[in-house]
A and B are shown apart, each in its own frame.
Chain A
Amino acid sequence: MSTNAREIGRKEGSFEREPARRVFASELRECRYDFKEGTDEKSPTFVLLPTGERCNRVFIVGTLTEKQRQGDQNIFYRGRVVDPTGTFFIMAGSYQPEAMQQLAKIEVPAFVAVVGKPGLYRKDEASTPMVSVRVESINVVDKDTRDLWVLDTATRTLDRIEIFKTSTEPDVIKAKEQYPAIDPAIFRRMAYDALAQIKI
Chain B
Amino acid sequence: MDFSETADRISRKFQKSGQTIDPKKIEGKLRRLIEEFGVQPSEAERSVTNDLAKEFNIPQMGTGGGGGKGGGATEPKKIADVSPEEWVTIEGKVVALSAPGSPAIAQSGIIADDSGGIRFVAWAKSNAPAMTVGLWYHIESAVVDEFKGIASLKIHSGTTVKESGTDGVLIPSTVPIVNLHTGVGSVRAKVIQEWDASHERMLQSGILGDETGTIKFVIWKEAGKEKLAVGSVYNIFYTLVDEYNGRLSLNLTTATIMQDDGDILVSGGNVAVRGALVHIAPGSGIIKRCPVEGCNRALSRQNYCPVHEIQPKFIYDLRIKGWLDDGEKTHNILLQRDVVESLTGITLDAAKEIAENNPLGMDEVFLQMRDRVLGRYITCHGREIDNRLLVNTCERLTFESSEHAALLNRAGGAP
Contacts and interface: CB of A to CB of B under 8 A. Distances in A.
Interface string B254-273: 00000000000001100100
B407 A137 contact: no
Contacts, number: 113
Nearest to A153: B327
B388 to A, nearest CB: 10
Contacts of A191: 407, 411
A17 B327 CA distance: 11
Given A19-B327, A113-B276, A139-B371, A2 B403 contact: no
B interface bracket (residues with beta carbon within 8 Å of A): 35 or more
A28 interface: no
Contact of B375 (A11, A113, A147, A192): A113
Contact of B411 (A9, A14, A20, A188): A188
A139 B329 contact: no
Choose among B332, B386, B387, B405 the residue with the greatest number of A CB atoms under 10 Å from its CB. Answer: B387
B325 interface: yes
B279 interface: yes
B245 A14 contact: yes
Nearest to B214: A5
Interface stretch (A68-76, A125-133, A154-162, A171-179): A154-162
Interface in A109-148: 112-115, 136-137, 139-141, 144-145, 147-148
Given A14-B247, A59-B276, A115 B375 contact: yes
Contacts of A185: 415
B365 to A, nearest CB: 16
A18 interface: yes
B210 interface: no
Given A154-B407, A155-B407, A188-B415, A144 B398 contact: yes
Interface in B384-415: 384, 386-387, 397-399, 401, 403-405, 407-408, 410-412, 415
A3 B378 CA distance: 20
Given A6-B329, A12-B247, A151-B403, A1 B267 contact: yes
Given A148-B377, A188-B415, A19 B325 contact: yes
B246 interface: yes
B370 interface: yes
B327 A21 contact: yes
Contacts of B271: 1-2
Contacts of A148: 377, 397, 399
A interface bracket (residues with beta carbon within 8 Å of B): 35 or more
A115 B279 contact: yes
A157 to B, nearest CB: 9
A17 B323 contact: yes
B374 A113 contact: yes
A66 interface: no
Contacts of B384: 2, 5-6
A52 B348 CA distance: 46
Nearest to B385: A5
B264 to A, nearest CB: 14
A141 B246 contact: no
Contacts of A155: 407
B327 A1 contact: no
A192 B279 contact: no
Contacts of B199: none
B65 to A, nearest CB: 48
A139 B374 contact: yes
Nearest to B271: A2
Given A1-B268, A192-B411, A14 B397 contact: no
A115 B376 CA distance: 11
B267 A198 contact: no
Contact of A59 (B247, B325, B371, B397): B325
A20 B375 contact: no
Nearest to A142: B376
Contacts of A17: 323, 330, 332
A107 interface: no
Contact of B268 (A5, A156, A200): A5
A13 B245 CA distance: 8
Contacts of B370: 139
A49 to B, nearest CB: 12
Contact of A195 (B246, B268, B332, B408): B408
A151 B330 CA distance: 19
Contacts of A18: 330
A145 B376 contact: yes
A146 to B, nearest CB: 10
Interface in A79-122: 112-115
A166 B373 CA distance: 38
B326 A19 contact: yes
Nearest 8 interchain pairs by C-beta:
A113-B375, A12-B246, A192-B411, A17-B330, A139-B374, A2-B271, A9-B387, A139-B375
Given A59-B276, A61-B375, 11 more contacts: A1-B267, A2-B384, A17-B323, A20-B325, A113-B276, A113-B375, A115-B278, A144-B399, A148-B377, A151-B404, A191-B411
19 contacts: A9-B386, A17-B323, A17-B332, A22-B327, A59-B278, A61-B375, A113-B374, A113-B376, A136-B279, A137-B279, A139-B375, A147-B399, A148-B397, A149-B377, A151-B399, A151-B407, A155-B407, A158-B407, A192-B411
